Amino acid sequence: AQSVAQPEDQVNVAEGNPLTVKCTYSVSGNPYLFWYVQYPNRGLQFLLKYITGDNLVKGSYGFEAEFNKSQTSFHLKKPSALVSDSALYFCAVRGPSTGGSYIPTFGRGTSLIVHP
Amino acid sequence: DAEITQSPRHKITETGRQVTLACHQTWNHNNMFWYRQDLGHGLRLIHYSYGVQDTNKGEVSDGYSVSRSNTEDLPLTLESAASSQTSVYFCASSESGDPYEQYFGPGTRLTVT
């Protein structure tokens, strides 16, 4: 079975400061990891993914995420937060395809609030 | 540009009525998914399809059904709407194979009174 934990329901950060949104996962085999962002009254938008290779993945809007296999984590980061980054962030994990299954498991989401 | 659309965007219905939510994608993706989003639960998978005539149950499929007659559409039907099905529903699609991200529609807010 695969699972994702986003330990913080809400993260508050001042504009211009670095931000981190945490994600830990559990999966059999090598993981595929994803981050999505959801703005109010909108669907989820893909930010970035980890497949293999470099542990630091760069994505849209200046976001990046660090894969740490030993800690089974995939934290989302940004060096300098913007007020417009305020949104709901979802981490998702998928194990290797099993019998053609492509179903990811999503975390419960973390609300990021960036204060001016 | 390719896109994924959902209709209606808002729907109010009465308990016991049958309701169908539409999902249409022009990405030509084989994989399509339906989720519901509720506060405190995140996204929960209702049904999914890997291609025409293929449908599969997700973790919260009771009271819902889907059919896939073509690549572009995966309508979600609530056979007899219940107040517990008040939620925001999202459709998503993805390419087959590994490890493709999902593209989400804008959502349908359903209220069952």
Longest Cα–Cα distance of chain A, Å, equals 48
- Mean pLDDT estimate for chain A: 93
Minimal C-alpha gap between B109 and chain A (Å): 9
The three-state secondary structure class of A60 is helix
For the residues B32-53, what does the mean pLDDT come to? Answer: 93
Which residue of chain B is at minimal alpha-carbon distance from A33?
Answer: B99
In the prediction, which pLDDT does A100 show? 56
In the prediction, which pLDDT does A81 show? 97
Closest among B99, B43, B59, B102 to A31, alpha carbons compared: B99
Mention every residue, 6+ apart, whose C-beta is less than 8 A from residue A2.
A25, A26, A27, A28, A31, A93, A94, A95, A105
Least confident among A10-24, A74-88, A99-113: A99-113
pLDDT band at A30, cuts 50/70/90? confident
**Would you report the helix, strand and coil content of chain B in percent, each value rounded to 5?**
5, 50, 45
Strand bridging mode A56-58 / A64-68: antiparallel
The share of chain B scoring above pLDDT 90, in percent, equals 88
In the prediction, which pLDDT does B104 show? 96
Q: How far is CA B97 from the centre of its chain?
A: 21
Chain segment A4-18, per-residue pLDDT in tens: 999 999 999 999 999
For the residues A95-108, what does the mean pLDDT come to? Answer: 77
Q: Which residues of B touch A51 (CB under 8 A)?
A: 98-99
Chain segment A63-80, per-residue pLDDT in tens: 999 999 999 999 999 999
CB contact under 8 A, A102 and B103: no
